[in-house]
């Protein structure tokens, strides 16, 4: 288990906070109150109540930066299709990506698949119990490794993620933004110290659940919180100002262009597999381009001709889709286009009908364009 080294410990003590948490009696009170509340208020979730490390791992990867209500159907579909880690490892990437479609942050799906293969190749298909071995899996960081092994095996491992970060910051009145190095080191030190001698997984789940349901970002329900008697932020009147302000993202507006290039002889459209290193790598997409290389639909047509070696004639506008990706707010302008000749299908470039597109993993906007073509065909 990784613990905070002496340098991190020294750094943690420089972060302003209330130090009553260092008293064992205070920590015992918090442990009892949190676990008692969890026993009565825990949500029924399909990954709860299991000691299966594969299932806990799958849920934790899916829950990264994604709401619980969104994850539930994906988790259930994944388990139905891949009931064991060996089943997941044996699947082809396209099948994995298709099941992940719409969940976002697609790098998680590729790393999940790679990690499953590693479990099969290096651990004979048995999800490891060693912290170091779990941490070595693709896509697994300190928080995820601690969550898996504490929940599935009861190992005394701390976790700090969005919900516990907020809860713990308020409990100890840490007034620095939790992303700052000293504050982050302090929270990890606290997360380790607050764990009970046994059943650490239940406590970790209780802390996450309290952060999700009670100790919420803007309007924490302090009056009904079981930890209120021990919360330094409440006692100091800081519950609405802690955690410290996170730097606001400055979103950049941009316009991108997609071409729905139709085969010259059939009702098939040009799609390609997005290469590694690009947004939505591993998914399939229509020709799509944006700034700084492309600033107009004419530029998108020229780029399509260069990239796919096919001459196209631009047609009418098909659809406008507005969406967000990381720090961008994107207006996607999709246009019909006609190919003057057609290449033969390859592994990464194909001509497919609107119906056939259903079998490919697409981004959310790619799926909207495919659905548009399917609807248009019927009218």
**Spatial CB neighbours of 5, under 8 Å, sequence gap ≥ 6:** none
- Phi-psi group of 152: left, alpha or beta (phi > 0 → left; psi -120 to 50 → alpha; rest → beta): alpha
Residue 80 is among the residues annotated as catalytic for this protein: no
Tell me the C-alpha distance between 289 and 106, whole Å: 19
Tell me the C-alpha distance between 199 and 205, whole Å: 10
Tell me the C-alpha distance between 100 and 94, whole Å: 10
- Using omega within 30 degrees of 0 as the cis cutoff, is the peptide bond preceding 231 cis? no
Six-digit token pair at 83? 């009931």
DSSP state, residue 300:
H
DSSP result, 125-180: T-----HHHHHTSTT--HHHHHHHHHHHH--------HHHHHHHHHHTT--S-TTS
Six-digit token pair at 248? 């606001």
List alpha helices for 268-363, DSSP H: 297-308
Q: Which of 60, 101, 161, 256 is catalytic?
A: 60
Q: Pick from 64, 86, 5, 18: which is nearest to 237 by CA?
A: 18
Tell me the C-alpha distance between 132 and 154, whole Å: 16
Six-digit token pair at 207? 């802390």
Q: Could you tell me whether strands 312-325 and 328-339 are parallel, antiparallel, or unpaired per DSSP bridges?
A: antiparallel
DSSP result, 176-207: S-TTSHHHHHHHHHHHHHTS-SS-HHHHHHHH
Please list the active-site residues: 60
């Amino acid at each position: 288990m990784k613990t905070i080294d002496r340098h991190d410990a020294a750094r943690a003590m420089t972060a302003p906070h209330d130090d009553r948490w260092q008293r064992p009696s205070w920590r015992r009170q918090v442990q009892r109150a949190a676990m008692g509340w969890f026993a009565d208020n825990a949500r029924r979730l399909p990954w709860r109540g299991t000691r299966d490390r594969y299932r806990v791992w799958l849920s934790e990867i899916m829950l990264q930066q994604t709401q619980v209500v969104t994850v539930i159907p994906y988790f259930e579909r994944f388990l139905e299709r891949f009931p064991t880690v060996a089943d997941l490892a044996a699947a082809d990437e396209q099948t994995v990506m298709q099941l992940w479609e719409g969940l976002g942050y697609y790098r998680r799906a590729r790393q999940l698949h790679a990690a499953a293969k590693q479990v099969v190749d290096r651990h004979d298909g048995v999800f490891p119990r060693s912290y170091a071995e779990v941490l070595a899996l693709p896509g697994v960081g300190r928080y995820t490794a601690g969550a898996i092994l504490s929940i599935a095996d009861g190992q005394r491992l701390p976790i700090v993620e969005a919900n516990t970060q907020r809860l713990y910051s308020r409990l100890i009145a840490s007034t620095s933004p939790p992303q700052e190095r000293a504050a982050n080191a302090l929270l990890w030190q606290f997360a380790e110290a607050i764990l009970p001698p046994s059943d650490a997984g239940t406590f970790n789940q209780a802390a996450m659940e309290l952060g999700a349901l009670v100790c919420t970002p803007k309007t924490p329900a302090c009056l009904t919180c079981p930890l209120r008697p021990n919360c330094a932020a409440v006692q100091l009147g800081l519950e609405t100002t802690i955690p410290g302000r996170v730097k606001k993202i400055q979103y950049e507006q941009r316009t991108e262009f997609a071409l729905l290039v139709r085969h010259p002889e059939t009702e098939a459209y040009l799609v390609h597999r997005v290469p590694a290193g690009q947004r939505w790598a591993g998914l399939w997409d229509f020709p799509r381009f944006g700034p700084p290389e492309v600033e107009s639909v004419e530029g998108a047509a020229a780029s399509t001709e260069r990239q796919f070696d096919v001459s196209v004639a631009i047609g009418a506008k098909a659809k406008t889709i507005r969406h967000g990706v990381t720090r961008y707010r994107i207006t996607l302008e999709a246009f019909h286009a006609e190919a003057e000749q057609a290449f033969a299908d390859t592994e990464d470039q194909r001509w497919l009908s609107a119906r056939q597109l259903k079998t490919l993993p697409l981004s959310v906007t790619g799926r909207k364009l495919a659905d548009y073509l399917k609807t248009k065909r019927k009218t």
